[in-house]
Amino acid sequence: MALADAGAPAPPPGLEGPDPGRWRRRLTTAAFLAPAIVLLTVWIVYPTIRTIIRSLFGRDGSEWVGLGNYETLFTTDTLVTAIRNNAIWVAVVPALVAAIGMVFAVLTERISWKVAFRTAVFMPMAISMFAAGVIWHIMDEKDPERGAVNAAIGAIKDVFGSSGVLSRGQPSSDALTGSVRDGFVLRATVRPGDGALLGLTAIPPAEVPADAEQAVAPEPAAGEIVGVVWRDFRPGGGEPGVVEPGELGIPGATVELRDAAGEVVATTRTGADGGFAFADVADGGYRVAIGSKTFAAPFEGISWLGPDLITPSVMIAYIWVWAGFAMVVIAAGLSAIPRDVLEAARTDGATEWQVFRRVTVPLLAPVLSVVFVTMIINVLKVFDIVLSVAPGSSQDDANVIALAMWRTSFSGVNDFGLGSAIAVLLFVLVIPALALNIRRFKREES
């Protein structure tokens, strides 16, 4: 009988009887999950539900308004601007960050100093986003003496064209006529061997060039037309149209020699004492003029922090911070690409551009999707860099959803109902990006 029992088949699964260790394993699992569940409930689930409910009430939470806050959200100009700006951010920034990161990763792959370059590009990630915004706020100052961006633009501009030595001026006597825009022309006709006195006034002392010296009326010589451009003013008075002690020349002024038809036949610049000379001048009558280039305004800077350019300025600062992240992630994916695939493509006659476009980019598609989706989520939540870069005068123009939520709820308005509605909108916008991430995770696990 015992032998017969020993040969009996085992009972099917599920009918063996109670497992004494099953409940113990379940309790152990629950004990490990309990802290996480409590924290998720306290910090995520409850605030989310509470925010949704609060968005249906008014400013102080005592009046039921239903969907009124959501109607306000889509009809208020400032909030509509925030939604539009966030749409621009989503359309531009993730693609640019991924593209720049990929270019950096590919171009630095074969250079010996790639570690130093990648470290420098990744360095902005080591500081807070708010600090990065403060840095770019200073760099974007309009005054070229303070803002590094405008200083660089001004330096490049000076290479291809010079600015004037004066910003304004007026004739000191009736001997000159004209304007700052067209230049000042000597009324009298001059001939070779004559001199021309071109006196200006209404010039602030601070605008007189630092290398200006006492004005001197040069002596004319045969075949030459000479003259002087000077600041015809001295403390205590003086005689207009006459070069006197204490009156400084205007160095660097543009002087034109014009023929009877008004065409410019020669151009020169004044020296430190304001003197100039046209040599080997053909016989005839001429007019001498102070050219309008003398009054070309210096580069005053681009208003990067103004209402028209504030959103692109903040985007540039944001891309500067995150380009290093994209570069490092894409470089890691690039190092995992089989080199034999790339070499096979080159052996088959593909150019480097074809290898990059048809081999490298498709193989990097999973990594690029990680960067792209991550940036979409981050861009939807962008807040601190906008707050730190944009001055108060242009924050309405640079407004984004997260900043609008903070300003509406905590920046003096204290409309927690409308602020909660903005938070719910932001939550709804982030859900699709989160769903893409979860779908990607599941695909990688399978």
pLDDT attached to residue 17: 54
Two tokens, residue 345: 């493509």
pLDDT tens digit string along 281-317? 998 999 999 998 888 777 788 999 999 999 999 999 9
Averaged over 425-430, what is the pLDDT? 92
- Both 348 and 380 in a single domain? yes
State whether 398 and 334 are in the same domain. Answer: yes
Q: Is the pLDDT of residue 84 over 80?
A: yes
The whole-number average pLDDT for the span 29-42 is 91
For the chain, the average pLDDT equals: 88
64 pLDDT higher than 90: yes
Q: Are residues 261 and 350 in the same domain?
A: no
* 76 burial level (CB within 10 Å; 0-12, 13-18, 19+): middle
Burial track 413-428 (b if 16+ CB lie within 10 A, e otherwise)? eebbbbbbbbbbbbee
Confirm whether 43 is domain-assigned.
Answer: no
Assigned domain for 81 exists:
yes
Domain tally, the chain: 2
- Do residues 283 and 355 both lie within one domain? no
pLDDT band for 3, please (50, 70, 90 cuts): very low
CATH number at residue 289: 2.60.40
79 and 125 in a single domain? The answer is yes
Strand order in the sheet with 275-278: 170-171, 195-201, 225-231, 275-278
Are 255 and 321 found together in one domain? no
Residues 286 and 320 in one domain: no
The stretch 60-84 carries a mean pLDDT of: 92
Q: What is the pLDDT of residue 215?
A: 93
- The C-alpha atoms of residue 247 and residue 236 are separated, in whole angstroms, by 12
- C-alpha–C-alpha distance, residues 129 and 117, integer Å: 21
* 378 shares a domain with 253: no
Q: Stretch 88-104: mean pLDDT, rounded?
A: 94
In the listed set 295, 317, 338, which residue is the last one of a domain according to the structure?
295
Percent of the chain with pLDDT over 90: 57
Reported confidence tier of residue 7, pLDDT bands at 50, 70, 90: low
| 186, 289 contact by CB (below 8 A) | yes
The pLDDT tens digits for 317-340 are: 999 999 999 999 999 998 888 888
SS3 letters across the chain: CHHHHHCCCCCCCCCCCCCCCHHHHHHHHHHHHHHHHHHHHHHHHHHHHHHHHHCCECCCCCCECCCHHHHHHCCCHHHHHHHHHHHHHHHHHHHHHHHHHHHHHHHCCCCCCHHHHHHHHHHHHHCCHHHHHHHHHHHCCCCCCCCHHHHHHHHHHHHHCCCCCCCCCEECCCCEEEECCCEEEECCCECCCCEEEEEEECCCHHHCCCCCCECCCCCCCCCCEEEEEEECCCCCCCCCCCCCCCCEECCCCEEEEECCCCCEEEEEECCCCCEEEECCCCCCCEEEEECHHHHCCCCCCCCCCCCCCHHHHHHHHHHHHHHHHHHHHHHHHHHCCCHHHHHHHHHCCCCHHHHHHHHHHHHCHHHHHHHHHHHHHHHHCCCHHHHHHCCHHHHHHHCCHHHHHHHHHHCCCCCHHHHHHHHHHHHHHHHHHHHHHHHHHHHHHC
Rounded alpha-carbon distances, angstroms, from residue 388 to 132, 144, 310: 8, 20, 12
Confidence check: pLDDT of 15 > 60? no
Q: Which of 113-117, 307-311, 441-445 has the highest mean pLDDT?
A: 307-311
| Residue 396 and residue 331 share a domain | yes
107: CATH: 1.10.3720.10
How does pLDDT run across 372-396, given as a tens digit for each residue? 999 999 999 999 999 999 998 899 9
Report which of residues 227 and 411 the model is more confident about.
227
Domain end point (choices 232, 260, 295): 295
Note down the domain range covering 441: 68-151+304-445
Return the pLDDT at 4: 47
Q: Is residue 40 part of a domain?
A: no
Could you give the CA distance from residue 273 to residue 403 in angstroms, rounded to a whole number? Answer: 58
Using one digit for the tens of pLDDT, what is the confidence trace for 163-200?
678 888 999 999 999 998 889 999 999 999 999 999 99
Q: What pLDDT does 18 receive?
A: 59
Q: Are residues 274 and 314 both part of a single domain?
A: no
- 264 located within any domain: yes
Q: Which two tokens stand for residue 362?
A: 């498709």
Asked if residue 21 belongs to a domain, the reply is no
Beta carbons within 8 Å of 115's beta carbon, 6+ residues apart: none
pLDDT score of 160: 73
- Domain finish residue from 243, 268, 295: 295
User: Is residue 356 included in any domain, yes or no?
Assistant: yes
Residue 12: pLDDT band by 50, 70, 90 thresholds? low
Whether residues 287 and 309 fall in one domain: no
pLDDT for residue 159 is more than 80: no
The per-residue pLDDT for range 233-279, each reduced to its tens digit, is: 887 767 888 899 989 999 999 999 999 888 999 999 999 999 999 99
Judge whether 209 lies within some domain: yes
Give a yes or no: residue 28 inside a domain. no
Quick one: pLDDT at residue 288? 94
Contact present, 229 and 270 (Cβ < 8 Å): yes
* Distance of alpha carbon 92 from alpha carbon 103, whole angstroms: 17
Indicate if 117 and 203 belong to the same structural domain: no
User: What is the mean pLDDT of the segment spanning 71-82?
Assistant: 93
Percent of residues, the chain, with pLDDT higher than 70: 94
pLDDT confidence bin for 210, thresholds 50/70/90: confident
255 backbone dihedrals φ, ψ, rounded to 5°: -115, 130
